[in-house]
């Protein structure tokens, strides 16, 4: 079982790629979904967040008010660090467990974990291969604006918190270029899929 980490900057096309891999029957571990799951009502992480950031973040149904939390940590580096200290060890543990479960099932030739901050948060050692989805920075901004209308300043702020495009590409064992068309991306992905099948 080959363990593959997939990453890329905001708006680079990670979802398009992981959806295509999933259609080929490949198991996808979604770090964003895990991040949502670890703060479910009554979870350890949610209790820690409420203790750290205040009861105002707890909604009537017992769930976390994500928008309010985002506002609190968005422009405060210390608060962001405190939040990450609560969340990242738990997310890391869950991803590691899911990779282990996937490897033990061995029903597919390889498994992919989609992790936006794969390089920044020290996940490299979990994987045999690293795929980086890449496009131009101006395309990232344009695509995120088209996708959900996010303010350009917010997009740039998110991009600035992520490592640079050059640093990301340096860590890649495989690059999927998403700077032209979806068709081109999917053609590259098909070839990569065949390559991983042959390795396994």
Residues 6+ apart with CB under 8 A from 172: 130, 131, 132
- Distance between CA atoms of residues 41 and 36, nearest Å: 10
SS3 assignment for the chain: CEEEEEECCCCCCHHHHHHHHHHCCCEEEEHHHHHHHCCCCCCHHHHHHHHHHCHHHECCCCCECHHHHHHHHHCCHHHHHHHHHHHHHHHHHHHHHHHHHHHHHCCCCEEEEECCCCCCCCCHHHCCEEEEEECCHHHHHHHHHHHHCCCHHHHHHHHHHCCCHHHHHHCCCEEEECCCCHHHHHHHHHHHHHHHHHHC
Residues 6+ apart with CB under 8 A from 109: 1, 2, 196, 197, 200
- Find the helix packing angle between 44-53 and 77-105, rounded to 10°: 180
Per-residue pLDDT tens over the stretch 138-164: 999 999 998 988 888 888 888 888 899
Residues 6+ apart with CB under 8 A from 50: 57, 58
Tens place of pLDDT for every residue, the chain, 200 residues? Answer: 899 999 999 999 999 999 999 999 999 999 999 999 999 999 999 999 999 999 999 999 999 999 889 888 877 889 989 999 999 999 999 999 999 887 777 677 899 999 999 999 999 999 999 999 999 999 999 999 989 888 888 888 888 888 999 999 999 999 999 999 999 999 999 999 999 999 87
User: How confident is the model at residue 91, as a pLDDT?
Assistant: 95
Bridge partner residues of 58 (DSSP): 64
Q: What CATH number matches the domain at 1-26+110-200, 3.40.50.720, 2.60.40.10, 3.40.50.300, 3.40.640.10? A: 3.40.50.300
CB-CB contact of 38 with 94 (8 Å): yes
Per-residue pLDDT tens over the stretch 108-147: 789 999 999 999 999 999 999 999 999 999 999 999 998 9
Give the angle 91-109-132 at the CA atoms, nearest 5°: 55
CB-CB contact of 153 with 75 (8 Å): no
pTM exceeds 0.85, yes or no: yes
Same fold flag, 1-26+110-200 and 34-107: yes
- CATH 3.40.50.300 is the classification of domain 34-107: yes
User: How confident is the model at residue 106, as a pLDDT?
Assistant: 64
Q: Domain map of the chain by residue range? A: 1-26+110-200, 34-107
């Amino acid at each position: 079982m080959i363990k593959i980490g997939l990453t890329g900057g905001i708006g680079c096309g990670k979802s398009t790629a992981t959806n295509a891999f999933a259609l080929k029957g490949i198991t996808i571990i979604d770090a964003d979904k895990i991040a949502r799951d670890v703060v479910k009502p009554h979870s350890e992480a949610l209790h820690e967040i409420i203790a750290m950031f205040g009861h105002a973040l707890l909604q009537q149904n017992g769930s976390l008010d994500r928008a309010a939390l985002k506002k609190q940590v968005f422009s405060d580096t210390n608060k962001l660090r405190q939040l990450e200290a609560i969340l990242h060890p738990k997310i890391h543990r869950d991803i590691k467990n899911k990779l282990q479960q996937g490897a033990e099932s061995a029903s597919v030739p390889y498994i992919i974990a989609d992790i936006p901050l794969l390089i920044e948060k020290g996940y490299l050692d979990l994987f045999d291969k690293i795929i980086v989805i890449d496009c131009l920075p101006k395309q990232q901004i344009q695509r995120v604006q088209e996708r959900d209308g996010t303010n350009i300043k917010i997009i740039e702020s998110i991009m600035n918190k992520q490592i640079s495009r050059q640093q990301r590409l340096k860590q890649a064992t495989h690059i999927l270029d998403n700077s032209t068309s979806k068709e081109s991306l999917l053609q590259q992905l098909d070839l990569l899929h065949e390559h991983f099948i042959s390795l396994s």
